Amino acid sequence: MISAACKIEFIPAGGVAVVLVDVGGWMESLPRFSARQELFEPDGIHQSDGFIKPLGGVLVDITFAAIEEPVTAADMWGGFLDVAPMALTGALVITGGGKVTTFEPAVMTATAPALPGSDGGLVKRWQVQGALPVTEDE
């Protein structure tokens, strides 16, 4: 478990920002970022003249897990039951270290809460797919 050095929020299209992790909040580990690009194989992979041509459109997968410490058991179970929204579109914004990094457009593809642990913490796993980020100074 680590303390978050940045704020991570998701801003649904036409909606209000939802803070997923705030500065000083708890995370299981650092967020993972992996980028991929759609590829096209015109001639097939096993032919002697086969080749792979990139078509553009880099997609970044961002995954992380936040750990919340609910005040009461009712808060804990309420948070567990209320954590799984439908797929949301909008922007993922990471703020910290004097920088603001925005992945837009972005889609929150999955939210998977773990059952509360023995210490009463609630783990929320987030998965977001977005375009290459834009980083600016705060």
All domains in the chain, ordered by first residue:
2-137 (2.40.30)
pLDDT bucket at 92, cuts 50 / 70 / 90: very high
Q: Which residue has the higher pLDDT, 92 or 16?
A: 92
CB neighbour class for 102 (10 Å; exposed up to 12, middle 13-18, buried from 19) = middle
- What percent of the chain shows pLDDT beyond 90? 34
pTM metric for this prediction: 0.76
CA dist list (Å): 14 to 17, 35, 51, 67? 10, 26, 42, 27
The pLDDT of residue 83 is above 90: no
Checking if the pLDDT of 39 tops 90, the result is no
- Is 53:42 a contact under the CB 8 Å cutoff? yes
- The answer to whether 8 and 92 have CB atoms below 8 angstroms apart is yes
Complete DSSP assignment for the chain = -EE-SSEEEEEETTS--EEEE-TT-EESS--EEEEEEEEE-SS-TTSTT---EEEEEEEEEEEEEEEE--SSHHHHHHHHHT--PPPEEEEEEEEETTEEEEEEEEEEEEEEEPPP-TT--EEEEEEEEEPPPEEEE-
- pLDDT of residue 97 exceeding 70, the answer is yes
* 56 band by pLDDT with thresholds 50, 70 and 90: low
Contacting residues for 79 by C-beta, under 8 A, at least 6 apart: 68, 70, 113, 122, 124
